[in-house]
């Protein structure tokens, strides 16, 4: 806090309202370490080693690791830091879409999605072919490349890239973009690797295992293409399962598991909710924009994870705290960020000050009357200098945010040489300031001297070697293959110690029974849907089991029945709101009428009492709180009654329930309570009803639950 207060002193001098922080009474001193390393790889190693030491020491001493975060200024720095941390057996989560797209499993998933709409996406195809699962070698890849050229009649096979080409030949051919092993865009698209997968040609040109892998991959892509018209969320889930990414990530050591796949699924769900009519090409364009834009799409709500190291931008860390925080790359041009090449006076991409929403906080341009050219140039230069000073002020505010995220340990660092470039970087004024301010508080682990004039970048002469195709198991190969062999042996009935398996199963079942005997309560999530409340009233044990161990729902085409009728009714009532498929009225009605019955449903509705009435409002979203739990939903229609009251109606295109009307009526009870809160009307003046369209039947359940009854329902969830 002493360092944060000193850093923010200049902000207070610039008129920024930042108060001084003070410790709680009796607080222990924190740990602050800084370092300036010779190059970026050494710096990343220093950060990863420092975090790993504290992580493993805390686990050994306390049985639990410290909450840990690495805060970066640029998303481009996330991948290298994540790789260094994983190399030290630490679980890692990359937070935010920009960094998320660089994680291996998400990159594989996006590559498959791209191939479904663009069979000529050669780079995506090459990634899958040479990736961890298929591991196609150079000789087989050369044969597939040659087959692609044969299929592309206008592009004959080039010399050296045909059948029997060496690894060097194929790498040189694929690397026409300038980087070895990278598919040149135009050449890759002309070649059509996916076309060659569908028609690989003579098996003799391939190794036997390579040919079998190619055929299996082609079959998987064909199966996914056949399901491309399904909703994006379902398609992404299908692709994930088809690639076995779910199994691969769950088998990964550490607790991070499928965190990145879940985060990507949330991104797709949010995109679908915002653009329900958009298809896969639009999603891929959206992801491409997020990846190309450095400032990017900030993550939504971020939560501190205590079982993995989180890597995120400083912007995304606002309001959060971790026990251990590292802030690397405090070098000029990175943190603080480099000055933009042009101001709004010279670049059409920048809005003039007068048109910006934050213009009150920006330096204004006041051109004097009758000024000559030299005077105008002086005023404009001063204006641009004021903008640059404001940029540095904003960067300092961001540094203040980063420094105050740490509860106990803060690691800050910089470097001289980057991965490329002939000019060494200087440590930023922020890093030097922290070192100087913190004398007596800070431990300087290392402070590398500046390179001599004319000294070359040592990283540019260091070659980096990798085995290709990569072994996804690495040092775990022997242990995993040994375990798999034991499983195969047991399945074949040759395992002499099968009794061990039986004893293991009995122990696991006994543990489950013991947990149930202790009547562990199930904790409700922070938010529940109306359908979950209906399920709680109908089958509380089933809901408790699902909350205790959440599982994804299988695709249910019945859930989308009746949407054509509801869309027609929406247009008839004049509503043009765009909502998600899962929020469509009646989407949870498993017995809903199929869309092919639209004509009969329309006829039945026009003969009902509701056809001549105009609703006060339709598709009313709401969120209310019951016993500390948020309940979200959407009401189909609200009608104003002649007596001054209200009637909330839920349209049903299926058949009336033969039983459990009381359970289904919970839905109306929640709607009634929500409309009372939204409109301010007393609860006794709000009625609710189901209208079953096909039967022309309106059901108005009596004795709907009030707020106390719904709270009692929430508290009734069973323990086991």
User: What are 516-533's pLDDT values in tens digits?
Assistant: 555 445 566 666 777 777
pTM score, whole prediction: 0.58
Distance of CA 388 to the CA centre of its chain: 34
Which helix (H) or strand (E) segment is 8 a member of?
helix 2-13
Q: Which of 289, 264, 290, 294 shows the shortest CA–CA distance to 76?
A: 294
What pLDDT was estimated at residue 658? 63
Q: Which of 166, 114, 125, 115 shows the shortest CA–CA distance to 148?
A: 125
User: What are 321-345's pLDDT values in tens digits?
Assistant: 999 999 999 999 898 887 765 667 7
CB 308 within 8 A of CB 93: yes
Distance from C-alpha of 164 to C-alpha of 139, rounded to nearest angstrom? 7
For the cut 80, the answer to whether the pLDDT of residue 309 exceeds it is yes
User: What are 491-517's pLDDT values in tens digits?
Assistant: 787 555 556 677 778 888 887 777 655
DSSP annotation string for 289-315: HHHH-SS----SS----SSSEEEEETG
What pLDDT was estimated at residue 576? 41
Which helix (H) or strand (E) segment is 413 a member of?
strand 406-417
Share of the chain above pLDDT 90, in %: 16
User: What are 209-248's pLDDT values in tens digits?
Assistant: 999 999 999 999 989 988 888 889 889 989 988 888 877 7
User: What are 641-652's pLDDT values in tens digits?
Assistant: 988 899 999 988
Mean pLDDT of the residues in the chain: 78
State the average pLDDT over residues 152-179. 49
User: What are 382-430's pLDDT values in tens digits?
Assistant: 877 777 777 788 888 889 899 999 999 999 999 999 988 888 888 998 8
Distance from C-alpha of 32 to C-alpha of 403, rounded to nearest angstrom? 10
CB neighbourhood size of 566 (10 A): 22
190 versus 716: the higher-pLDDT residue is 716
Q: What angle do CA 410, 412, 418 make, to 5 degrees?
A: 155
Taking each helix axis as running N to C, give the angle between helix 104-117 and helix 208-225, from 0 to 180 degrees, rounded to the nearest 10.
70
How far lies 607's CA from each of 433, 544, 699, in Å?
A: 78, 42, 16
CB neighbourhood size of 686 (10 A): 23
458 versus 294: the higher-pLDDT residue is 458
Q: Which of 193, 155, 156 shows the shortest CA–CA distance to 174?
A: 193
Judged by phi (left if over 0) then psi (alpha if -120 to 50, else beta), residue 314 lies in alpha
pLDDT band at residue 184 under the 50/70/90 scheme: very low
What pLDDT was estimated at residue 346? 72
Residue 335 — φ and ψ, nearest 5°? Answer: -145, 95
How far lies 542's CA from each of 401, 535, 548, 718, in Å?
A: 45, 8, 10, 10
- Residue 28 DSSP one-character state: P
Residue 407 — φ and ψ, nearest 5°? Answer: -85, -35
Distance from C-alpha of 149 to C-alpha of 158, rounded to nearest angstrom? 8
Q: Which of 695, 696, 563 shows the shortest CA–CA distance to 636?
A: 563
Q: Which of 270, 309, 304 shows the shortest CA–CA distance to 290?
A: 270
The alpha carbons of the chain give a radius of gyration, in whole angstroms, of 31
Q: Which of 1, 7, 29, 46 shows the shortest CA–CA distance to 411?
A: 46
């Amino acid at each position: 806090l002493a360092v944060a207060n000193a850093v923010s002193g200049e902000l207070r001098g610039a008129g920024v309202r930042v108060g001084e922080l003070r410790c709680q009474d009796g607080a222990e001193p924190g740990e602050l370490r800084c370092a300036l390393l010779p190059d970026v790889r050494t710096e990343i190693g220093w950060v990863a080693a420092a975090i790993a030491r504290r992580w493993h020491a805390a686990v050994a001493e306390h049985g639990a690791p410290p909450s840990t975060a690495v805060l970066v200024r640029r998303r481009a720095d996330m991948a290298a830091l994540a790789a260094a941390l994983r190399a030290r057996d630490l679980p890692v989560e990359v937070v935010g879409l920009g960094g998320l797209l660089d994680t291996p499993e998400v990159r594989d998933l996006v590559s498959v999605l791209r191939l479904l709409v663009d069979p000529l996406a050669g780079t995506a195809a090459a990634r899958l072919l040479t990736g961890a699962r298929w591991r196609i070698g150079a000789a087989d890849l050369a044969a597939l490349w040659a087959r692609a050229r044969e299929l592309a009649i206008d592009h004959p096979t080039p010399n050296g890239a045909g059948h029997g080409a060496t690894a060097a030949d194929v790498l040189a051919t694929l690397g026409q973009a300038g980087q070895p092993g990278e598919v040149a865009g135009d050449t890759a698209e002309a070649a059509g690797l996916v076309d060659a997968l569908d028609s690989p040609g003579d098996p003799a040109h391939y190794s036997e295992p390579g040919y079998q892998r190619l055929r299996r991959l082609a079959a998987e892509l064909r199966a996914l293409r056949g399901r491309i018209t399904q909703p994006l969320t379902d398609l992404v889930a299908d692709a994930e399962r088809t690639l076995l990414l779910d199994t691969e990530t769950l088998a990964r050591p550490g607790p991070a598991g499928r965190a990145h796949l879940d985060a990507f699924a949330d991104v797709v769900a949010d995109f679908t909710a915002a653009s329900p009519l958009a298809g896969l090409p639009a999603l891929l364009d959206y992801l491409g924009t997020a990846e190309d834009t450095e400032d990017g799409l900030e993550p939504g709500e971020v939560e501190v994870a205590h079982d993995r190291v989180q890597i995120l931008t400083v912007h995304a860390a606002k309001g959060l705290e971790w026990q251990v925080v590292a802030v690397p790359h405090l070098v000029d041009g990175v943190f603080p960020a480099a000055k933009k090449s042009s101001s709004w006076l010279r670049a059409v991409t920048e809005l003039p000050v007068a048109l910006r929403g934050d213009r009150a906080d920006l330096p204004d341009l006041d051109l004097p009357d009758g000024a000559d050219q030299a005077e105008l140039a002086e005023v404009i230069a001063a204006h641009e200098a004021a903008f640059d000073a404001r940029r540095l002020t904003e960067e300092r505010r961001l540094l203040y945010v980063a420094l105050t995220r740490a509860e106990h340990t803060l690691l800050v660092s910089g470097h001289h040489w980057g991965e490329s470039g002939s000019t060494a970087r200087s440590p930023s004024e922020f890093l030097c300031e922290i070192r100087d301010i913190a004398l007596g508080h800070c431990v300087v682990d290392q402070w590398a001297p500046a390179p001599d004039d004319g000294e070359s970048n040592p990283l540019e002469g260091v070659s980096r070697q990798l085995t290709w195709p990569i072994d996804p198991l690495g040092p775990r190969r022997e242990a995993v293959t040994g375990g798999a062999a034991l499983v195969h042996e047991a399945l074949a009935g040759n395992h002499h110690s099968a009794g061990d398996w039986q004893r293991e199963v009995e122990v696991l079942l006994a543990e489950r029974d013991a947990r149930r005997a202790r009547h562990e309560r199930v904790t409700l999530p922070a938010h529940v849907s109306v359908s979950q409340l209906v399920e709680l009233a109908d089958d509380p044990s089933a809901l408790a089991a699902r909350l205790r161990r959440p599982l994804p729902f299988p695709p249910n085409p019945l859930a989308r029945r009746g949407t054509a009728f509801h869309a027609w009714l929406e247009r008839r009532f004049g509503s043009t709101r765009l909502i998600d498929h899962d929020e469509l009225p009646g989407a949870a009605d498993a017995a809903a009428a199929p869309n092919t019955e639209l004509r009969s449903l329309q006829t039945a509705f026009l003969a009902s009492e509701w056809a001549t009435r105009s609703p006060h409002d339709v598709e009313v979203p709401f969120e209310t709180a019951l016993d500390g739990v948020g309940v979200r939903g959407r009401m189909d229609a609200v009608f104003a009654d002649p007596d001054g009251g209200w009637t909330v109606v839920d349209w049903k295109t299926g058949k009336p329930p033969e039983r459990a009307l009381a359970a289904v009526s919970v839905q109306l009870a929640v709607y009634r309570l929500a409309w009372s809160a939204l409109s301010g009307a007393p609860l006794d003046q709000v009625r609710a009803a189901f209208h079953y369209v096909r039967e022309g039947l309106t059901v108005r359940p009596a004795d709907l639950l009030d707020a106390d009854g719904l709270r009692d329902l929430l508290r009734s969830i069973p323990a086991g």
